Amino acid sequence: MHAFDVLGDPVRPTDQYWKGITMSTYEVTRTETIGATPDRITPLITRFPAWQQWSPFERSDPELRRSYRGPAEGAGAEFERGLSALKTLAEARADDPT
């Protein structure tokens, strides 16, 4: 939804505009091209302990407590870091690079 003033310039909605509007779900998507084959990249994503090697969030506090549950990798693996929300890997497919 876009709003415009009398001159046709865009107007940013105010906080009052958004009051009472809540999102029940949302999705964030990002695409990155990596110069490596899926068989080299997939284990870095599907094994939560490997995230310490590449995730900038992991580097922010190396002393932070981490807990892992479920399988060591792949679907059903769970990871919790400090007070952050539990992350569960729903699906992992090395044959699908998307």
Enumerate the domain spans of the chain. 3-88
User: Is the per-residue pLDDT at 93 higher than 60?
Assistant: yes
Q: Please report the pLDDT score of residue 15 as a whole number.
A: 54
Q: In Å, how far are 1, 9, 42, 44, 80 from 51, measured between CA atoms?
A: 38, 45, 11, 6, 12
Query: With bands split at pLDDT 50, 70 and 90, how would you rate the model's confidence at 56?
Result: confident
Q: Please report the pLDDT score of residue 12 as a whole number.
A: 59
- CA 82 to the chain's CA centroid: 16
Across 36-40, 41-45, 67-71, 85-89, least confident range: 85-89
Would you state the structure tokens that stand for residue 74, as one six-digit string? Answer: 């792949």
Q: Please report the pLDDT score of residue 96 as a whole number.
A: 62
Q: Please report the pLDDT score of residue 95 as a whole number.
A: 66
- CB of 4 closer than 8 Å to CB of 10: yes
